[in-house]
Amino acid sequence: MLHVVLLGDSVFDNSAYVGGAPDVVEQLRTILPEGSQSTLLAVDGHVITDVPRQLSRLPDSATHLVVSVGGNDALRASGVIEHPTRSVAEALYLLAEVRERFQTAYSAMLDTVLAAARPTALCTIYDPRYPDPQRRRLITTALALLNDVITREAFTRGLSLVDLRVLCNEDADFANPIEPSVKGGQKIAKAIAAFLHARPEMQGARAFAR
């Protein structure tokens, strides 16, 4: 029997943003086979270092894990975009420092996740939908550095990847600039279901983007 556990932040814990409509976990439950379970341990506002605490409540019956975290870490570090610099090289150095801190935290988190010994999928951080086109462009460019960490970690460790950048590619997929709408949540739920239904030998180092 399938029992998927969702870890991370408001990408999964999005009930506060959909006005009483089904959130991601509810949409997932409607498309999983009868008898399957979906448990939400993700918490709105949580960051990478919160995931091990979420895992402390992992049900023994869990068969699969899906992790979507890092967006709030990126948000906390976004002030670097406004930092004055004297050259492109100096700006890149500041971004490299953010990337290295992110990688250290993300890798340590994954060590804890993989200790649970369940098939696992990681989610990239989607491109936000800020109304200011310039801000959207800058943040999307900076996020590419952090998404590089996530994709490298996924494929180096033989994990599946749910690419939210490709899935949530329309403004209608967002309830606000950084939270999934009902439509976006449906896309995410379908991609998770595809991961769960893949043959065991296909649940590692594979991308799900539709």
Closest CA to 154 of 69, 46, 72, 77: 69
Identify whether the C-beta of residue 162 lies closer than 8 Å to the C-beta of residue 148: no
Cα–Cα distance measured from residue 3 to residue 11, given in angstroms and rounded to the nearest whole number: 19
How many CB atoms are located within 10 Å of the residue 144 CB? Answer: 15
Those residues with Cβ within 8 angstroms of residue 210's Cβ, 6 or more apart along the chain or in another chain: 166, 167, 187, 190, 191, 194
Ramachandran category for residue 45: left, alpha or beta (phi over 0 → left; psi -120 to 50 → alpha) = left
Sequence spans of domains, the chain? 3-208
The CATH superfamily assigned to 3-208 is SGNH hydrolase (3.40.50.1110)
pTM of the model as a whole: 0.93
**Per-residue pLDDT tens digits for 92-146:** 878 889 899 999 999 999 999 999 999 999 999 999 999 999 989 989 999 999 9
**Per-residue pLDDT tens digits for 32-61:** 999 999 999 999 999 999 999 999 999 999
**Per-residue pLDDT tens digits for 9-27:** 999 999 999 999 999 999 9
